[in-house]
Homo-oligomer: A and B are copies of this chain.
Amino acid sequence: MTIKPRRNSPERKAVKPKIPTSGRSAAAPARGVRPNQADVAYSRLRELILAGSIAPGSFVLELEAAAKLGMSRTPVREAMVRLRAEGIVEIRARHGMRVLPVSADDMREIYEVITSLESTAAGLVAKRGIDTNALSSLNEAVKAMDSALERDDLERWAQADEDFHRTLINSCGNGRLIQTVDQFWSQAHRARLLTLRLRPKPTQSNREHAALVKAIAKGDAEAAVRIHQEHRERAGRLLTDLLRKIG
């Protein structure tokens, strides 16, 4: 018997069934199932957007994206629908998918949501207790931030900061909250990178992180909420003010 040739014309590059390494996606591809073309399109496009490789404000046609990704329009279309649901692109008929620029006002909105949910998460973690693993991760992150700050390594600091917050949120015991924060966090990511070197040294941040860990370890939910809220509000103000300045 002969092998039937596939009739696919978009040249079939052996698709790596690699699981995307980036943080959990909002529209979760069912667990453990190997990703299909639509999943590939979704995560590839998402990465491109979040890394800034597709400029905010620019349009991407279905056909363009399909060609670039080596697949047909169908899965690309599905991916775009998911990205729109996440709020990081809009779809304009006959212009394709437009990567939404994040204005200062958008950033205010995003930070208000993040502040609200993360503070709640901090409170929940303090109230419900945190497992030893996570607690030591938090402490490590704090240490990493301190040493990065001493060496003026801002990239390192930002990474540790992100680790800290991700660990914190992931310990809150509320999957929906985690996913929602994740979604908004990714939208703020670009702006954070953009303004990293324009911000004052985040020494205050480090103090707040340490205080938060202490409150959580003590199980003081009230304090945890308050500290985290102030922390985020300050960060949000800083970021939105900066965005307003640099346009």
Contacts and interface: CB of A to CB of B under 8 A. Distances in A.
Nearest to A124: B112
Interface string A76-93: 011001101111001111
Contacts of A116: 116-117, 119-120, 177
Q: Is the interface of A mostly helix, strand, loop or mixed?
A: helix
Closest 8 CB pairs of A and B: A116-B120, A85-B85, A27-B85, A109-B176, A109-B174, A116-B116, A113-B177, A112-B174
Interface residues of A, number: 36
A116 B123 CA distance: 11
Nearest to A117: B116
A26 interface: yes
A184 interface: yes
Contact of A26 (B78, B85, B108, B174): B85
A30 interface: yes
